[in-house]
Structure formats: structure tokens, C-alpha cells
Chain A
Amino acid sequence: MTKLRTLSTAGAMIALLSGPLAAQELRFTVWTGNDAHLAMLNGIADSFTATHPGVTVKYETIPAGDYVQKLTFQLAGGNPPDLGWMFENSIPTFIAAGAVRDLAPTLTSTEGYDVADFSEPAMGLWTQGDSIYGVPFSTSPFMIYFNKDMFDAAGLEDPLTLAAKGEWDMEKFREVAKALSEANDAYGFEFKDGQGYDSRIMHAIMPPIRAYGGFAWQDGECGFNKPEAVAALTMLHEMVFADGSIVPPGEQGDYFSGGSAMTINQISRASKMPEAGFNWGIAPLPTGPAGAAPIIGQAGLAVFSESKNPELAAEFIAHMTNAENVAVMAQFFPPARKSVLDSEAFINANALIPAEQMANVSAAIEEGRVLPSHERSPQIDAAMKPRFDAFWRADADVAASLDAVCEAIKGEL
């Protein structure tokens, strides 16, 4: 009898120890190594641990340049993280390969989690039917950064003023870029981070294409050689080679060190401005014949199919993207939750950007669309690149070059 009691006590203790008190660790891959970012993320993890005793979250930084490769090798090599950040151009490939889990059951059943609070265009890339394969944590619109001193030196109204008057359109953009390059020892405009001819082709060409009412591809059809896109890219080509107002291929004209008067980038780059040494501002993208066409860049959170703790990982995403934590993350990552976007706190959140300029940011997030994406994005990019190299020659036949782009990618669409 005593033996039986001893055994049952031991059994109960083992059950207790291996039950709710057993430690569980969630491995979470990110591409930031920034101390402030990690401190904020650890704070969110601590608040999750408070309601889930024994659960810890371990953030693992993988540099952005190697992120997708290293993540893929971890997943394939039997060492899968539970969840992680995902780039906007990678998520369609991961969804198509079945490498990420549907979060909808967890998100819709989490008390107080309002999925409808997320801006619909911002969720477009991450949902398929009723399934939700990721939740965007950063939805950052592309804005025009301008060097106010160079505008003043050229005697020009800056883009913010022109936008307020409703005159900030593609024609005006071309006109001021040319005038700026003539008045200053600098180019008028630089593509995002000077990479518009290489890794940022889409960032360079999509703003004018959409402003002219064009598209890259849709429903398996290529749009680069449609009249709207041809008109937009003809203007861009002329700005580079005829006007000499955009930093040309193979040259450097860094905006942040005064090499160009304007550039296009996201608000995270504002952190570089205090050391730039000139007066500056941010304005919306110029409108075109099709009206305003703001563009957003995104990053999201996803749970990997190979995760050893998929339910718990999904619960953590629900926690991390609830209204309270999205407001916390908004100090670094512009949110897609409308309730946070519309709040005074967000408009006044950025110490470097005045409230009236942040209002433009907020509007662009609500109306903006992501860059075109596709489950075969890597193949499409590789097929497009050599054809766009040919397009970016001074003597290129624009229409013929764009036909060649469409011919090269049609098999991938």
C-alpha cells in the first residue's frame, strides 16, 4: 500500500513537472541587430511570458542580405525556427511552397484581436481567401526626401509646398529635378539608396508606372510594355539621359551626403538625417495622370510549418500584433492597424519628422499598395534584370526594351 502511494506521488510530481511548468522556448528570426529594436522586442516577449509562464522567446539575428537563404537552410536542415520576420517579396514563395502556417484560426479566436482593424490593402499580400499567412508589423510608405537648402538655392518651391497646392505631379517633378541639377553641384534625384539599376529596379520604376496608371503584371499578363508604363518609363529614361537630372547607371550621387537634391525612401531613413547637415523634409510621391499612387514596403511575421511549437508561436504573433503592442512598435515600424495610424500618438511619435509630414505618412499607409510580388519573384527578377540593363542605356529604344522585358518574364508569370 505504501509502495502504491509512493508510486502515485512520484507519478503526480512527474506529471506536474512535465505539464504546464515545462519550459518552452520560441526561436524567432529577425534581421535587425539594432539594440533599441531588440530591447523593444524583448519587452514584448516579457509581457508574453507574464501570461505564459515557462515560455521564453529567443530572437536570432540573421543579416538582411542572407536572411532568406539562411532561413531556408535552417528550415530544410531540420533546425527550424518557430517564427520569424518575412520580406514582402519572399512571402508569396513561402506560401506557395507550404512553408508558412495559416494563422487565421488563432487570430480570429484570440479575445480582443480585431483582424478588421488592419488596413485591407496592407493585408493583401499576407492573406489568401480566409487564410492569413502573416501579419505585417512594418508598413512603411515610400516618400520623397528633399534637400530644402538646394531648393532654396535654386529658388524653387519645395515638394511639400507644391503638394499642399496640388501641383506636385510627375511633370513638376521632372521640371524641378532638372532645375535643381542645373542650379546645384548635384543631381536632381537619386533612386532608393542608389540601387535603382540593380537590386531596387522595382522601387525605381513602379512609382511613375503606377502614377501613369500602369502595372507590372496582373493575372499572368505583363504590363511593362503597355502604353501607360511605356510613357512613364520614357519620362524616367529622358530624365536620366536627356536631362541628366537623375543619377545615371554606374555613378554615385548619395542624397544623404549632398550628392542629390531628392531621393525616394522610407521613414526609417530619417535616422540618417541629423548627421546630413542640411535642412530637409519629406513629401508624398508625385501624382500622375492616374492620380496619387502611394507605394508601401512591408515586412511581416509568420509561423513556419516546420515549427516545433506552432500553436504557441501563433499565439505570440497574436500577442505581438495586438493594438497595444503595435502602438509600441510604431516608434520604429509604421503600423497597418487603422486605430493606431489614426491616433495622435502615432502622428507625434517620430521625433525627427514634424506632425504635418507624419500625416502624409499616415495617409500613404492607408491608401498605399505594396510593390508587385509573385511566388516566382526570384526567377522574375533574374529574368528581368538583363533586359532592364539594356533599357538603361543612353541609346536604348525604350518601347523595344520593354517588349524584351515582357518576353523574358512571360514564362514565369
Chain B
Amino acid sequence: MGTLPDSDTTARASRAPWLTLRRREAIEGWLFVSPTLIGFLIFFLGPLIAVVFYSLSEWNLLSQKTTYVGLANYADALTENPDFWHVIRNSVFFAAGLVPMNMALALALAISLSRPGKGVVFFRTVFFAPVITSAVAWAIVWKFLLQGEAGAVNQMLAQVGIDGPNWLREPNWAMVAVIVTRVIKMVGLNMILYIAALQAIPRDYEQAARLEGASGWQIFRMVTWPLLAPTTLIIMVITTIGSFKVFDHIYLMTGGGPENGTLVLAYYIYEQAFEFFNIGYASALAMIMFVIVLSLTIVQLLLRQKGSA
């Protein structure tokens, strides 16, 4: 004859608390991340999925007519619309001009201002101030400074015998002007990142290199620069992404002109969506921009992995 289980033991087993420590921690964890997660789902993932669907349709916002067109919007942009490739060229030119200039300037400023010294805090503030300045005010002020003959920039150039161009009315110069003013506005952010990275490098490495007889340039090239590589990668990725998404400067300073010389992808998307109300086509362009930025980021990460291997 077998032994019957103790009734107390059975009751305890069946009444084991559902809210175990593990579960409680899991619930707490989900509760902590839920505000961000909900925001991510509603304001990022949801619209992203919606844009994919919109890009497969021809949707005129005003007439409320929607027709499924498959990949026609993508085909139109990539193979039929000459404006698209002009816009891509402009965007690449903008990024190719802005990213190296921004990074080189940020690094130079960071090296100059990374060590304690007289006036360092003041100059850091001066170079960082444009980052927190209103983009609208910044663009409007520069628009005045960059006027033709009467502009302050050309007046200063005239003092040294240079006849400056009509900056915002000549296509090539307009692009240069927009790039440079954007660099001045944003360089402070990258400067701060580089300063933080430089200050994190132990001074011992530099001192050891000096004892070995290394020059300043050799120390920078063989010690500092390699140790800055992770920060450089991050800066390159965020600056490249930012340069492909630039809109406010273009909108406020040139409106994509003159002669479409500064018509970049983000502004072109805005024009299609909010001036022509072609939501389907604009969504396809937005997806193309997403793929371009994603691809550039992946390529940069792969190059970094290859470099550190």
C-alpha cells in the first residue's frame, strides 16, 4: 500500500506564489522600459510600416484618392525622373563636403581645447553655442551676412581685395555657403565628443612615446588617432546621417535653389509631400533615403570591424 501525499505539502505546492521574484523583476523591467517602448512603437515603428504601405500607392492627399501601384513609385524615381538623380548628386555632394570638413575642424578644435588652460572654457562655450542656437535665427542671420555686394561677408572680403560672389544666388557657391554655415553651426557637438575621447586617453601613453623620442605628429598618428577610432566612427556615422537628413538650412537659406543647386533629398521629399501632396511618391523617396542612410551606416561599421581585426 502506497503512502498518500501529505495534504499540507499538496496545498503548499498548489498555492506556490505566481509572483515569483523572477517574474516580479521581469514585470518591473517591462514597466521601466514601457514608456520608451510604447513611444518607439507608436512614433517610429508604426509610421515606418505605414510609409512602406504608402510608398506602394498613389495617394493624392487633397482628392483622397488612393490607388495601389506596386513598385511604380520606386521605378519612377530610379529610372524615369531626372530630378531624382540630380537630388541624389546634390545630397552626396553636401555630405562629401560637410562630413570631412566638420570632422577635421572638430578634431582640430578638440586638440586645441582638450587640456586645461587660460580661456579654454570660454572658447569651448563659443564653439558650442551655435549648436544650441535656433536653426531659424542662424539661417536668417547668415542669409543677411551672405547678401551680394551689401553682405557683411563680401564687405570684409572687399577689404582684402577679394570680389566675393553672390553667395546664395549662384548654384555652386550656394551649396558651399550652406555647407560651411552648417559646419559652423554643428561642429561644436563633435568637438565635445572628441574632447571627451581625448581626455579619456591615459597620459602615460604619450609620455612613454616621448621617452622613446616620438615627435608630436608621430604621437598623434601612432597613439592618439588609433585610440580615437571608436569615437571617430560614431562621429562619422551620426554626421553622415545628419547630412543626408538636412532640411532646415536648405529650407530657410535657399529653398533648394538657385537653379536647384541645393535641392537635397530631404527637401525634395518635403516638396513632393507637402507642396504637391504626392504622399505615395514622397513615401517611396523616404524609403530610398532610409535605405541609403542604413547602407552607409552598415558600410562604415563593417570598415571599422575590418580595421580593428
Contacts and interface: CB of A to CB of B under 8 A. Distances in A.
A binds B: yes
Given A93-B62, A97-B60, A378-B275, A251 B257 contact: no
B259 A98 contact: no
B62 A198 contact: no
A75 interface: yes
B57 to A, nearest CB: 14
Contact of B277 (A72, A197, A250, A251): A72
A73 B258 contact: no
A248 interface: yes
A379 B276 contact: yes
A124 B255 CA distance: 32
Interface in B59-118: 60-64
Contacts of B169: 197, 249-250, 389, 392
Which residue of A98, A249, A250, A382 has the most chain B CB atoms within 10 A of its CB atom?
Answer: A250
B78 to A, nearest CB: 20
A98 B168 contact: no
A357 to B, nearest CB: 32
A69 interface: yes
A39 interface: no
Nearest to A305: B64
Q: How large is the interface on A (under 10, 10 to 19, 20 to 34, 35 or more residues)?
A: 20 to 34
Contacts of B231: none
A108 interface: no
B258 A382 contact: no
Contact of A252 (B64, B150, B258): B150
B300 interface: no
A76 B257 CA distance: 30
A127 B15 CA distance: 79
Which residue of A72, A76, A98 has the most chain B CB atoms within 10 A of its CB atom?
Answer: A76
Nearest to B171: A389
A378 B62 CA distance: 13
A94 interface: yes
A121 B166 CA distance: 41
A308 interface: no
B23 to A, nearest CB: 42
A190 to B, nearest CB: 13
Contact of B62 (A97, A252, A382): A97
A41 interface: no
The DSSP consensus for interface residues of chain A is helix
Contacts of B63: 97-99
Contact of B258 (A99, A379, A389): A389
Contact of A251 (B64, B148, B276): B148
Contacts of B149: 251
Contacts of B276: 378-379, 382
Interface in B248-296: 255, 257-260, 271, 274-277
A93 B62 CA distance: 9
B62 to A, nearest CB: 4
A264 to B, nearest CB: 21
A72 B59 CA distance: 13
Given A379-B276, A390-B259, A72 B61 contact: yes
Top 8 A-B residue pairs of the complex, sorted by shortest distance between their CB atoms: A389-B258, A97-B63, A250-B148, A97-B62, A250-B169, A386-B259, A386-B260, A389-B259
Given A76-B61, A389-B171, A390-B258, 18 more contacts: A69-B274, A72-B62, A97-B60, A98-B63, A248-B148, A249-B148, A250-B147, A250-B167, A250-B168, A251-B147, A252-B144, A252-B150, A379-B276, A382-B275, A386-B257, A386-B260, A389-B259, A392-B169
29 contacts: A72-B61, A72-B62, A75-B62, A76-B61, A76-B62, A93-B62, A94-B62, A97-B60, A97-B62, A99-B62, A198-B255, A198-B257, A248-B148, A249-B166, A249-B169, A250-B148, A250-B167, A250-B168, A251-B149, A251-B150, A378-B275, A378-B276, A382-B271, A387-B259, A389-B169, A389-B257, A389-B258, A390-B258, A390-B259
